[in-house]
Amino acid sequence: MTTLNRLTIYILKRYLLLLAGLAIMAFGVAFSIKASLGTSPISSVPYVVSLFSPLTVGTATIVMHCFFILLQILILRRNYHPIQLMQLPVAFFFGYLTDFGVWAVQGISCHTYWQQWIVCLIGILLVAAGVSLEVKAGVVVLAGEGVVLAICRAIPSLKFGYMKVGFDVILVIIACILSISFTGRLQGVREGTVAAAVMVGLIARQFGKVLARWKLEDEQSA
């Protein structure tokens, strides 16, 4: 196999891994919405917006990600790398898949509290698995993470982990304000939101340890 062919396969595998991760994450969001125990922090704003506007969760997600991309450009200015515009097609893919996931799981019944928690935990596991695949692919980050990275790059004293937690808290607060202001009650943010905030990162790291055994570079160096 020629070097060019090996490189092509190597890049293709990374992009396929990214697409798989996005698809799994989208279904994770759909399960979280179905559970009605609160969505993950990053999905809380689009979900709440979908409750009082004509936008679907997926469309609201796309709009939010486009705003995040614009925010990165404003923060980094000349230091913004054009390759990060790959976040745009990723946002559309993720948004449309989220809407498909919401449609696909609508037949699932979860009338009792323990059933809601089972569906919620499935959603958390799927989101964590999707995140670990996205990280393994190493192609491009989602726009939400891109904003955090941009802020940390503009202010080097900020640590990514702390900034990510702060960013998630801000999103949850915005979701709460929008929910109460436009629907008259708190929706989209519940105990499931807290569970997702705590568990997704921890589970994703465990998935990451398993994925670390798979060396994508093997095909490139073979």
What's the confidence (pLDDT) of residue 4?
Answer: 64
pLDDT at residue 222 in the model: 43
Between 109 and 123, the higher pLDDT residue:
123
Range of the domain at 164: 3-221
Residue 84, pLDDT score: 87
Confidence at residue 213, expressed as pLDDT on a 0 to 100 scale: 79
How confident is the prediction for the chain on average, in pLDDT? 90
What is the value of pTM for the model shown?
0.88
Span 180-187, average pLDDT: 94
Amino acid 185: pLDDT: 93
Is the pLDDT score of 178 beyond 80? yes
Q: What is the pLDDT of residue 164?
A: 86
Rounded distance, CA 88 to CA 213, Å? Answer: 30
Position 1 scores a pLDDT of 56
Number of domains making up the chain = 1
DSSP states of the chain: --HHHHHHHHHHHHHHHHHHHHHHHHHHHHHHHHHTS---HHHHHHHHHHHHSS--HHHHHHHHHHHHHHHHHHHHGGG--GGGGGHHHHHHHHHHHHHHHHHHTTT----SHHHHHHHHHHHHHHHHHHHHHHHHH-S---HHHHHHHHHHHHSTTS-HHHHHHHHHHHHHHHHHHHHHHHHSS--S-SHHHHHHHHHHHHHHHHHHHHHTTS-TTHHHH-
Q: How confident is the model at residue 219 (pLDDT cuts 50, 70, 90)?
A: very low
pLDDT tens-digit map of 59-98: 999 999 999 999 999 999 988 888 889 999 999 999 999 9
pLDDT number for residue 160: 83
Distance of CA 55 to the CA centre of its chain: 18
pLDDT digits (tens, 9 = 90+) for 42-54: 999 999 999 999 9
